[in-house]
Structure 1
Amino acid sequence: MPKKAGMEAWKKKRRQEHLEKKEFRYYIFCEGQQTEPLYFEGFKRCIEDNPIYRDMVLVEIEPCQAETMRVIGMAEKYVKKNKIEKGQIWCVYDKDSFPAKDFNGVVQRAERLNQENPDVQYHAAWSNECIEFWFLLHFAYYTANNHRTEYIAFLNDKFRELGIGKYQKNMKDIFNILMKKGNPKLAIRYAKRIIKDGQGKMPADIAPGTKEYELVEELVKYLRKKKF
């Protein structure tokens, strides 16, 4: 075997051994290529910066550039290909204009998969109709079922008010803006209230609504206290 190829194989093996030692594992599959990954990369950085948890927690983020059912399909393939035997698999996706059966289908598919292996559990961090609704909740309790353009307009007004400028979908500092300028604890409380009010309904019928908070609640457990 050539020396370079041998070294690469050794590095890959060592990395795999290192990852396997991590007790808490989160594999996040994002519908979008940038907005969602950039947001959750903020949590990943903060966890890796925390000396208490950085050697205990693994956060892997996979941009899918795919919608609804394709996101969980890609997650399943990743789990099988990489022989993942332990961890939480999170599918982050929006309703947008996709059919209700596909949007709800991710939750239903996750429930079926979770019966197969208690050590690998799938979760649906959906937003109806877009992740901007979750961002918006950092600044206000909002229940009007408007088009996503209205949520973006709200964020534009709020960001200008804060002196940040215009909201853009692929903002690299969106995590810091929401954590420092917004109120993530209130966002979680607001999102939970909306889900409670929609109890018994399918995700596509909770409009607006989001379960992004469930993933955020998991990740903030590993942040430094001053961060949250």
Structure 2
Amino acid sequence: MPKPTKSIKKTDQSKAWNRKKRASSYQIETREVNKVILIVTEGQTEQLYFKSFPVLTLTVEAIDLGGQSKTKLIQVTEDIVENSATKYDEIWCVFDMDIKHGAQEFSDFDNGITSGKAKGYNIAYSNDCFDLWFYLHYHYSEQSNHREFYYDFLSNAWGCNYVKEGKKYNFCNEVFNLLEKDEDASQFEAINRARKLFEKTAHLPYHDQNPVTMVYELVELLNENCRK
């Protein structure tokens, strides 16, 4: 026997307790799908430094390819990109001059930058060395110093033998935090100083841009995606 149903008075149909519930409309928060960037470096120091950024809205894959010619590094990067199951939104190649062979090194440095840019890669090059970026956290200088100058400065600033201790895994893994906690260091100023150096030398061939470090551009990208 069918279950009896309760009749509803017409006068009650409009009352709140008897209205049909409507689907709630909530504002749906949409977030951009995380970008994935590939950072190819030629040293452990650079690789671990960039991996230390506390990014939230960006996936960073950093690979240390070790020392090799700049044009070779670009070729290896291309191989990695072509054979990876990951589709990278941006590709960054990080390398420095490594002055050893004079004109041969100049040509390789310039060709590596030109070749990488032609493939659509971002090139965070430094001249003379990547460690200039750390130095700029403390001071500004337009002097073309040899890397030994930066090694000595960082050894004194950080109370270590930077060449021996500063290149070890555990130390490299803490450089980002070390700079963040050092009251004498300023990443904000390092960015401004690096940009100023580039603006002064941008008209020159790449190998003549000294001192210069384009690392600040990659740091700005990472900062945009860090937790606040």
Q: TM-score, normalised by structure 2?
A: 0.75
1: distance between equivalents of 2:73 and 2:181?
30
Using the aligned pairs only, state the percent identity: 32
1:27 to 38, 45, 54: 38
Matches within 5 A, 1:63-212: 63-67=64-68, 68-82=70-84, 84-97=86-99, 99-114=105-120, 122-160=121-159, 165-167=160-162, 168-170=166-168, 171=171, 172-181=173-182, 182-212=185-215
1: distance between equivalents of 2:51 and 2:204?
31
Gaps in structure 2 of 5+ consecutive residues? 1-31
2: distance between equivalents of 1:22 and 1:60?
16
**Deviation (angstroms), 1:110:** 2.1
Where do 4+ consecutive residues of structure 1 move more than 4 Å?
A: 83-86
- Asked whether the 8 Å contact 1:22–1:58 carries over to 2, the reply is no
- Asked whether the 8 Å contact 2:194–2:212 carries over to 1, the reply is yes
Give the structure with higher Rg (CA). Answer: 2
How many residue pairs get aligned? The number is 184
Q: After the TM superposition, which of the residue ranges 80-89 and 191-200 deviates more from structure 2?
A: 80-89
- Asked whether the 8 Å contact 2:36–2:87 carries over to 1, the reply is no
- Asked whether the 8 Å contact 2:117–2:123 carries over to 1, the reply is no
SS of 2:192 mapped into structure 1 = helix
Residue-by-residue CA offset, 1:44-88 (whole Å, 9 max, x unaligned) = xx11xx4xx2xxx21101110133122211110011111554411
The structure with the largest helix share of the pair is 1
Gaps in structure 1 of 5+ consecutive residues? 1-20, 115-121
- Asked whether the 8 Å contact 2:94–2:125 carries over to 1, the reply is yes
Aligned letter for 1:131?
F
